[in-house]
Structure 1
């Protein structure tokens, strides 16, 4: 059930962001305020997400990448004086980037009925992504030393690992949202309106197994 819930949330978020972005591109291009080439795809391909690193670096949106990377470089090279190109420098920048992203999302958690800043799960979730990337980088390096190539079987295993990782840690981030009522607020429901004349979707009951 957790795999299904994680899949549904990820896919709905992916296409919700896509639809908002594409609608904006249509409006601003039609008004002559921008050109089509100014609106590259905001999301990458799901087929690229066979590692946690590739999911965040290729499949998910990169709207925050430039400035969180700049902050990471400043901390790693200017503040700490680490040598560029080393593993220590690279992973320091990685952790700083996810720490910034987690803090921003944690502020969003705080705005959603939480009693204190630490009640949400965003900070733990996003920092854990850097841990997962370090782990999988080590496994990939070990596999290369053992002569394991990038074949179809390896990628299938990578998809299983990536999906399983998010099935494990996604509830840390998402469950507090649902417990605080994110999925129970009124909304506009075209399906409910056409089907039952209920445009708020109250009669379309969806059971959420929060206690798994």
Structure 2
């Protein structure tokens, strides 16, 4: 086990302990070891050479540190959060039930089955075994998609660590292609892991199918950049962002809830914090300031794009202009095409240009075909 991995596991134990602890003014002291472990793992250890392992130290620790800040400094979840059907508040429970409650809250980033659940999740209405069979089909689909994307990435200098080629090196169509493959790689790799987990824990009866809503929203609903990030994307970090954005807008700047200033302060704060999460992940793989800087730029640009499209939509409504079919989709594709390369190229230079499956199939088939 690397020092970074040890810090991550210890960090999570302290994080859960902070949630388990009953309401007390001294709960804030848990932030001291959490910040110390985070600082050491992210800034005072050297990259191991395994980009994927390193990235999954900096990124999750950043996310969980923000969740810890929300649950320790900004609120006390035992005083107000409940799982659906829960009668008594957490601080009224005995230790073991409270430990299960805290562990579920810590691991359940979308708060599925809680009264603070992320909105508009797509739940399955299937029973246990039909759900497992359906998920097996989805697993095969996502695995094949990830395998194909990985094979294409392995033959593309734009996604090699030492390739050095820009996404748009061969024109705009090549850039569009590279951006599509980049997002397909991310979506398929994350979906494989989530789908596999859902199959196992539902099959053995630990969870119900309703506990595993679709990882992503409906792509046909992606009619704006706001919809892309706020509904179609996975929403795993949403609840770590909102409390800090709200605190900044209302408690620091004093903006009234529901006002334009409050809304856009929260918007930019959330994308800034999301950029910090991902930049920390980038930093752990290469200790390269330029890569982290481009990641921050990418996420701040998303907030600017949403502000721009909100303005365009408002003007169009005032003028009575109806939505032009397919134009919203073209806008989202256009925006991701021009904004993604700065972030994706940095990831590639750090060694994260690909998220290959554990057992690649397509390269093996091609190898056998060539041998024949």
| TM class by smaller structure | 0.7 to 0.9
List aligned pairs for 1:69-80, cutoff 5 A.
69-80=242-253
Runs of 5+ unmatched residues, structure 1: 198-202, 204-212
- Alignment length (residue pairs): 195
Q: Is the 8 A contact 1:114 1:180 kept in 2?
A: no
Q: Deviations over 1:41-71 (max 9, x none)?
A: 1101111112100111111111111221111
Residue 155 of structure 2 corresponds to none
CA distance in 1, matches of 2:325, 2:261: 27
Instruction: Kindly provide the CA deviation profile for residues 171-194 of structure 1, in whole angstroms up to 9, marking residues without a partner as x.
Output: 110111223333489975322123
Aligned to 1:119: 291
Residues 1:106 and 2:276 aligned together = no
**Cα distance, 1:149 vs. partner?**
2.2
Instruction: Give secondary structure in 2 for the equivalent of 1:73.
Output: helix
Question: Which residue pairs with 1:161 in the alignment?
Answer: 331
2:366 is matched with 195
* Greater relative contact order (Cα < 8 A, sep 6+): 2
Does the CA-based 8 Å contact 1:125-1:169 persist in structure 2?
yes
**Residues 50 and 130 (structure 1), Cα distance of their counterparts in 2 relative to 1, 3 Å cut:** same
Alpha-carbon distance in 2 for matches of 1:182, 1:17: 14
Normalised by the length of structure 2, the TM-score is: 0.49
TM-score, structure 1 as length reference: 0.84
Contact 2:295/2:343 (<8 A) preserved: yes
Which whole-Å CA distance do the structure 2 matches of 1:184 and 1:104 have between them?
Answer: 19
1:99–1:127: 8 Å Cα contact kept in structure 2? yes
d(CA) in 1 for partners of 2:354, 2:278: 21
Give RMSD over aligned pairs. 2.1
Unpaired runs of 5+ in structure 2? Answer: 1-173
The offset of 1:32, in angstroms, is 2.0
